[in-house]
Structure 1
Amino acid sequence: MTASSQSQLQSSSSSSPVATPEDRPPLHKVWILASRTHTLTAAVSPVLTGYHVCASYSPHIHQEHSSELIKVTFAWLLFCVFIQLGTNLHNDYADFVKGADDENRVGHARATQKGWLTPQQTASGSNFCLMIAAAIGAKLAQLNSSEGGIDWDWTIVFIILTSVFNAVAYTGGPHPLGYVDLSNLSIGYSGLGDLFVFLYFGLVATMMVPYIYVRDVLGEAVSPRDLLGGGNERNEVPVLLRTAFFMALPVGWLATAIIVVNNLRDRHTDVKAKKLIIAVRFGATFSQVEYGLLVFGSYMSLPLCLDASSLYSWLPFLSLPLALPQLRAVALGKKDGADLNMYVGGIARLQLVFCILLCAALRMSSPS
């Protein structure tokens, strides 16, 4: 923690509200609240999708290495979950010490702002989660050398390091992603925040399951030759990763929609804290249109993910009864402020249901 962060923490601690025993939930519920476990679908959905891409589009590899796929999926799921928990806890801490979370907050209760946890406790919880994530990531990045030593998959190393960095930089540090102002460009929080959520909880979280799985089965890092097509089992690699990329698009767009509705709800207090989210920089209407495009685009991208000639490709549309109330409330601006609280969890549930149906359609329509 930097000196400036410590001074902010000390000043905020002195003004931190003191929760009475009647106000304070049980400690385990406080940590669940601070961790925002209701948003963990954003970590689970892409990993689930990546698993089913592997099982559907690498039948020959999968039959011989099914236990390897389960092991890779579980390890990557743990990494993604702990990264998100660390991000959520650090956001709870940083938004309080920077003044974005105060008594005027209209969103869900924040443990640090309520005084249920001290800033030090929340920051320590975040650091603990990120250290676990880094340890899991380090294990995933290791390659067994033919000479008996350990080599590193530098693609995974880069992803692990940037994931941990983004978890902290999201709202922390002297120049957090949540408070960026690039002079005339003025790319605000949701501009950068949306981009990082789409990249890391969409493309990366989905595609790393097949990437690590194929790498471990082949016994070496995936090379450009493998991406273009090689021989024998390697012929399946480009198809596998290409399918994972297209499947990751709707997964990432729906994950991004979670942060859009969250920021739309919080824009009135964020503007006072000089938090340059898109809803502050470009207005509520811009964010409402963005939200509509993300949700609508997720359904329109299905022909890229599935065989359009198969009846099973229509399965994800069964989630429309969940999507339509979301679009009406958020994209059409029927709800605002605290009334949007239920729609933050609503879009997270939509993402999970959509991904389950997407995976079911993929498995049912695949040749394997």
Structure 2
Amino acid sequence: MASVAEWVEGARLRTWPNAIAPVVAGTGAALGTSGFDLPLAVLSLLVALLLITGVNFANDYSDGIRGTDEERTGPQRLVGSGAARPRSVLAAALGCFALAAVAGLAVLYLSGHWWLLLLGAASIAGAWFYTGGKHPYGYAGFGELAVFCFFGPAAVLGTMYVQADTVNGSGVGAAVAMGSFSSAVLVANNLRDIPTDTASGKRTLAVLLGDRDTRTLYVLLVLVPLLISTLTALRITPALLGFLALPLLIAPLRTVLGGGTGLRLLPVLRDTGLAMLVWAVATAVGFTLA
């Protein structure tokens, strides 16, 4: 039976910045239009945290029962390590998705935008079928694209829209930046796992691209938010605050460009997620000041 510490490890709280940052960015964009709504912002954050925790447990379960976690260089998995029964991890995943659905319904009720129910359903389905089902899209090289869409446009513009009843160019720019950062985190994760994923038949984008091109993709993705900050600053000068994230990217860029592998790539995931959060907070402040 897994301990509390093992369950916390299985929830992968270190991935939470990837859920928090898009909501912060979307709320900042809403503030820029004087559309801030605290209850909706808090509920949107709750939805995001529950979804990312649910997908972490779902991935743990699906990868575990397939045997793709038997040899890992990353954090311990509950099912793959034998610390928890598959049914228990599946129940945790489904419980998180159910709570996310309840919080999402509260967002729709308060905002009146019931058509966003389709977006919520798509988000839960995307979270499950990333590694779940007979043909998981995460095993076919589409993980990064899905992460870009769900943690970028869906999360950022959804958060902005329920609060401000509109979206604008600033919100779209923030959505692209968040999607790029989130994809970069997954690219770094899959870069680390190329050897084990190849051996287990898991065809991630990193496996398909190969080591060198995956490293190039990571660099391009983390530079996109800085380009967004520059372009946004042409109209909203305080958007340059997004460059506060740059110092956090120096170490991961050195590791990736320097050929780091295995456990050396773990800090890259952490630092990229933190850079994503700093960019979101700084840019939200910039939107507010403007």
Do both proteins adopt the same fold according to a TM-score greater than 0.5, normalized to the shorter chain? yes
Alignment pair present for 1:78 and 2:5:
no
Does structure 1 conserve the Cα–Cα contact (< 8 Å) formed by 2:157 and 2:172? Answer: yes
Q: Deviation at 1:128?
A: 0.4
Mapped contact 1:210–1:244 kept (Cα < 8 A): yes
Deviation, structure 1 residue 260: 0.4
Which residue of 100, 107, 110 maps to 2:68? 100
Counterpart in the other structure of 1:256: 183
Q: Which runs of 5+ in 1 are unaligned?
A: 1-18, 145-150, 181-187, 216-236
Write the distance in 1 (CA, Å) between the matches of 2:27 and 2:250: 28
Deviation at 1:309, TM superposition (A): 7.2
Which residues in structure 2 correspond to 1:85-124 (within 5 Å)? Answer: 85-102=53-70, 104-124=71-91
Q: 1:213 and 2:184 equivalent? A: no
- Normalised to the residue count of structure 1, the TM-score between the two structures is 0.74
Stretches of structure 2 that go unaligned for 5 or more consecutive residues are: none
Correspondence list, 1:200-239, <5 A:
200-215=150-165, 237=166
User: Partners of 1:340 and 1:293 in 2: how far apart?
Assistant: 17
Q: 1:257, 1:173 → 2: CA distance?
A: 25
Letter in 1 for 2:251: P
Residues 51-200 of structure 1: pairs in structure 2 closer than 5 A: 51-58=27-34, 62=35, 69-102=37-70, 104-142=71-109, 153-154=114-115, 156-180=116-140, 188=141, 192-200=142-150
User: C-alpha deviations, 1:322-355, integer Å up to 9, x for none?
Assistant: 111111111x143111211121111111111121
- Per the alignment, residue 222 of structure 1 pairs with none
SS in 1 for 2:84: coil
2:17 paired with 1:41: yes
SS in 2 for 1:44: helix
Distance 2:79 2:146 in 1: 25
Number of corresponding residues: 290
Contact 1:247–1:305 (Cα < 8 Å) also in 2? no
| Distance (Å, rounded) in 2 between the aligned partners of 1:98 and 1:345 | 27
8 Å contact kept, 1:89–1:125: yes
Instruction: State the secondary structure of the residue aligned to 2:214.
Output: helix
Deviations 1:83-128 (A, max 9, x none): 11110000011111111101x2111111222222111111110010
2:197 match? 270
CA RMSD of superposed structures (Å): 1.9
The structure with the largest alpha-carbon Rg is 1
Instruction: Name the structure where helix makes up a greater proportion of residues.
Output: 2
C-alpha distance in 2 between matches for 1:51 and 1:253? 18
Corresponding residue of 1:327 = 253
Preserved CA contact (<8 Å) 2:143 2:205: no
Q: Percent identity?
A: 29
Distance in 2 separating the partners of 1:315 and 1:210: 20
Q: Residue 308 of structure 1: CA displacement?
A: 5.6
In the TM superposition, residue 200 of structure 1 has moved relative to its aligned partner by 0.7
